[in-house]
Structure 1
Amino acid sequence: MDSIDRAILAELQRDGRITNQDLADRVGLSPSPCLRRVRQLEADGAIIGYRAEVSGKALGLPITVFVELTLEHHTTESTEVVEEHINAIEHVTECYLMAGDGDYLLKIAVGSLEEYEVLVRSKIRSIPAVSSIHTSFAYATIKERSPLPVQAGKSWRRTGS
């Protein structure tokens, strides 16, 4: 991946609906080579998809909940079953397998505290092998859906003091 590929990725993260012509202009290519590079980045798995970002509030889901699940045991079979259950819960928008105290971290969107309670009672508690559930509610979003840094070889450095 060279600097032009990285520039393409940076631009597409800012605006996934940009036209190929505008993208080519921004990264200093003509349209045909730009489109070839985009298609190659897709084929290589650097670009994994395109989507619209939708407001949870607009859908009546203003509450973001983070749930840490800890498992009783960690067999291949039990983790497969746990992950199947998690994937079947539509309110779970993200799920991460964690190192540390908890095993899974879920990001959940709900409309109310009552809705979350029903979700816990009907779906989350019924997940086999879960020994504990720890819930945290987000009351403000400080930074959300930031683009990934695409510049290779550049590390974060504190400037000033």
Structure 2
Amino acid sequence: MDNVDRGILDLLRQNARAGYGDIGSVVGLSASAVKRRVDKMVSDGVIRGFTIQVDPAADGMSTEAYVELFCRGTVAPAELRRMLSAVPEVVGAGTVTGSADAIVHIRARDIPSLEDALEKVRVAPNVDHTRSAIVLTRLVHRASD
């Protein structure tokens, strides 16, 4: 990957529907040259897919929380992934340093739905307790995947 490829990626992150000609006019290539580079980045696995981003509020999923997950004993990341993947409201999760074992990002329709999702997480085997923070206002959001 060179700086031109990075420029193409930056433009596609802003608008995955941008035309190759429009991208080419910014990065200094023809539409066909941009297409060849995009095709190569797809085949190399640099670009994993093209998608849409839906406003969660428009989709009815405007209530969100970040949840610290504390486990009893040692729980493998693969087991945490299996457990959390079973809860549809979990939109992201990762193991972390510090006293918590994982941080979980949950989106739900409303507070009762959020509470139901939290309960699904809490009753999972090896979960000792959780600590939740409900998001009041999103300040910064950048798509990174």
Partner of 2:74: 74
> Which one of the candidate residues 110, 113, 126 is aligned to 1:112?
110
Q: In percent, how many aligned pairs have the same letter?
A: 26
Shift of 1:143: 0.8
Shift of 1:73: 2.1
The Cα offsets for residues 102-131 of structure 1, whole Å up to 9 and x where unpaired, read as 12111111122211222222x112221112
Higher mean C-alpha deviation, range 48-57 or range 9-18: 48-57
- Which SS does the other structure have where 2:37 is aligned? helix
Q: Distance in 1 between matches of 2:133 and 2:18?
A: 37
Partner of 2:141: 144
| TM-score, structure 1 normalization | 0.81
- Which SS does the other structure have where 1:39 is aligned? helix
Is 1:124 the counterpart of 2:121? The answer is yes
- Which SS does the other structure have where 1:131 is aligned? strand
Bigger RCO (CA 8 Å, 6+ sep):
1
> Which one of the candidate residues 78, 83, 98 is aligned to 1:85?
83
Partner of 1:152: none
- Which SS does the other structure have where 2:133 is aligned? strand
Is 1:2 the counterpart of 2:14? The answer is no
Partner of 1:48: 48
Q: Distance in 2 between matches of 1:147 and 1:80?
A: 22
Q: Distance in 1 between matches of 2:95 and 2:8?
A: 30
Q: CA RMSD, aligned part only?
A: 1.8
Partner of 1:33: 33
| TM-score, structure 2 normalization | 0.89
- Which SS does the other structure have where 1:69 is aligned? strand
Q: Which runs of 5+ in 1 are unaligned?
A: 149-161
Q: Distance in 1 between matches of 2:19 and 2:86?
A: 35
Q: Which runs of 5+ in 2 are unaligned?
A: none
Shift of 1:53: 1.0
Q: Distance in 1 between matches of 2:143 and 2:53?
A: 12
